[in-house]
Structure 1
Amino acid sequence: MESTEGSNTNSYSNSMKQIVLQIPTFINVYNDGTVERLRNMPRAPPSLNDPATAVSSKDIVFSINPLLAARLYLPKLNATDKKLPVLVYFHGGALCGESAFAEHHHEYCNLVASQANVLIVSVEHRKAPEHYLPAAYDDCWAGLKWAASHANANASQNSHIISEPWFINHGDFNKVFIGGDSSGGNLVHNVAMRAGVEPLPNGVKVHGAFMNHPYFCGSKPIGSEPVEGFEQTLPYMAWGVVYPDAPGGIDNPMVNPMAPGAPSLANLGCSKMFISVAGDDQLFRDRAVLYYEAVRGSGWKGQVQLFEEKGEQHVYYMFHPHTDKGKRLIKQVADFLKQ
């Protein structure tokens, strides 16, 4: 990203550089096309045998067109280990920021892989505004399809598939999960809906899905959402940045699954679901609870559970995973993945 501060030699060009689109404190888009992401965390490299969890990780490319990468996590194997459940994970960041390779997402995936004993592929999806939605939805679906392609024992011999030995040797494709946090929870919903109507390779089914503090919104405030200035809140503004041409705008079913005319949640393509919320999360809690209630009342045949941590803010566990409350949420996720 080009700096907005420079020497006298480029002071003229800098004076002409102006913000044309922004989410305050989150992202600035300038008239020269550059994008400044204000909350991106530092990146962490993958590692063999993480000192804290003994989880090994590595980065791979799983698609050439479009070019898509991911980070894989393999927990420490024991001689008695059978095949491991597979988690296809979608990181948060308002669909326009952050990375699967960020420090906090890396630590979180290490903890989940270790505690749940699961094989994880953390998808690095494309971001807006360089790539507007539905690009990220398509990328996450592609990540799930890529994982499912390994259910065929001959995957390594298929020239159309970028095969991965960790998945071929260790993946249990009768136990495939999808999961995500914040905007990653939104991605989970949309991928689960697609899995309900579109088959995955080799007959693979999504066994379970978890959404921690998922990102949903709508045209009218509900519950604890502010009435005054609602259209200037992060969830509302983000949608205009990531999907400016969305049919129905902020009431598009991809961000408002309860909007009039939205597809029935009975079509969710998974057998069970875990949803978590934070009690003091003013902008995200009530939408997630409403979603939970809508899933329960939809006629969907799966099992859904809701977990709430009182007195906490949005994704508290991601930045404080070693507090008692952070540990409790991560254990809830790990327990869900063990079922």
Structure 2
Amino acid sequence: MASSGSEITHKFRYFDVYKDGRVVLRHPITEKIPPSDDPLTGVRSKDVIISSEPPVSARIFLPKSADTTQKLPLLFYVHGGGFCKQSAFSRKYHNFLNTFVAEANVVAVSVEYGLFPTRPIPACYEDSWSGLQWVASHSNGKGPEPWLNDHADFQRVFVAGDSAGGNISHTLLVRVGSIGLPGVKVVGAVLVHPYFGGTEFDQMWLYMCPTNSGLEDPRMSPNAGDLAKLGCKRVLVFVAENDDLMDPGKRYYEELKKSGWAGSVEIVENSGEKHCFHLLNLKYEKAVDLIKKLVSFVKQE
């Protein structure tokens, strides 16, 4: 007869919770790959430690064209994974950002934040904010990372993320608009298939965030006040037709337009596609189109 501890009390999309308090993730541990100098694109990458306590790190990507004569836009990227899986160091995200950096000719910083259950929400928000502040610490050219000191234009910074990373990107923009980010101008933001409230995933997020304020928590259900003070001028939102999160993404777009925010927002619907399809095959025609749209958004004057 099974012990009471083996009884599952909550079944979520990505993990089960047992009566004895154990949380068992359903997905395999994410394979992490080292940074590299890519012979095909010429993009170089390296890993940096942002904070040891709490543990926050990042992978930095530098395009082949980088030299000391011209500063390049900087992309701060927040990976997805339902707040409980994936990594800035996974093959999936390494290859995506390597490709994007080569095509957009930008410097990219991909933050590695704490995941549930080891570090419950709000660790992901706080770690990502620490990462963005660390990036900003280089705006005077005297930060700890030479690649950022030498090559990044801190008046052309973009924040982007997919799924949970899109959600986290929103919270970063609210903070930038509320308290500022000295030395940095966040020009635009990209939210790819963002994870907001209004679906079966709501209860999972509430469980992962013990300090939540319910279904109306502004981190999951952005309110007009927060939307109105986003700290950037342009926002691009992607939604996918066959994604459970499509409606929340569309609602975010509509609410942002009505909020009184002074910037411009655009939405792109990926017809016939599933959640974050582009990460599965970067050579797939529609994935290529998504990346091209992202590149044009960053290059837009």
- Choose the corresponding residue for 2:96, options 79, 99, 108: 108
Alignment of 1:56-135 (within 5 A): 56-77=44-65, 82-135=70-123
Deviation by residue 1:299-339 (Cα, 9 ceiling, x = unmatched): 11111111112111111101122110010001111111112
Shift of 1:117: 0.8
**Which amino acid in structure 2 is aligned with residue 166 of structure 1?**
W
**Which amino acid in structure 2 is aligned with residue 43 of structure 1?**
K
Change (3 A) 1:170 1:14: farther
- Choose the corresponding residue for 2:269, options 295, 301, 308: 308
- Choose the corresponding residue for 2:162, options 181, 185, 195: 181
- Choose the corresponding residue for 1:205, options 182, 185, 192: 185
Structure 1 stretches lacking a partner, 5+ long? 1-12, 156-162, 219-229
What does residue 38 of structure 1 align with? 27
**SS of residue matched to 1:201:** coil
Deviation by residue 1:197-231 (Cα, 9 ceiling, x = unmatched): 112133x121111000000013xxxxxxxxxxx6x
Answering whether residue 171 of structure 2 is matched by residue 190 of structure 1, we say yes
CA contact (8 A) 2:30 2:85 kept: no
CA–CA distance in structure 2, aligned partners of residues 266 and 251 of structure 1: 17
- Choose the corresponding residue for 1:318, options 261, 269, 279: 279
Shift of 1:287: 1.0
**SS of residue matched to 1:168:** helix
CA–CA distance in structure 2, aligned partners of residues 139 and 268 of structure 1: 19
What does residue 241 of structure 1 align with? 207
TM-score by length of 1: 0.82
**Which amino acid in structure 2 is aligned with residue 197 of structure 1?**
S
Alignment of 1:141-180 (within 5 A): 141-155=129-143, 163-180=144-161
CA–CA distance in structure 2, aligned partners of residues 255 and 69 of structure 1: 25
- Choose the corresponding residue for 1:263, options 220, 225, 229: 225
Shift of 1:35: 4.2
- Choose the corresponding residue for 1:250, options 196, 215, 227: 215
Answering whether residue 197 of structure 2 is matched by residue 217 of structure 1, we say yes
Aligned residue pair count: 299
**Which amino acid in structure 2 is aligned with residue 326 of structure 1?**
A
Structure 2 stretches lacking a partner, 5+ long? none
TM-score by length of 2: 0.92
CA–CA distance in structure 1, aligned partners of residues 222 and 285 of structure 2: 33
Residue identity over aligned pairs, in percent, reads 41
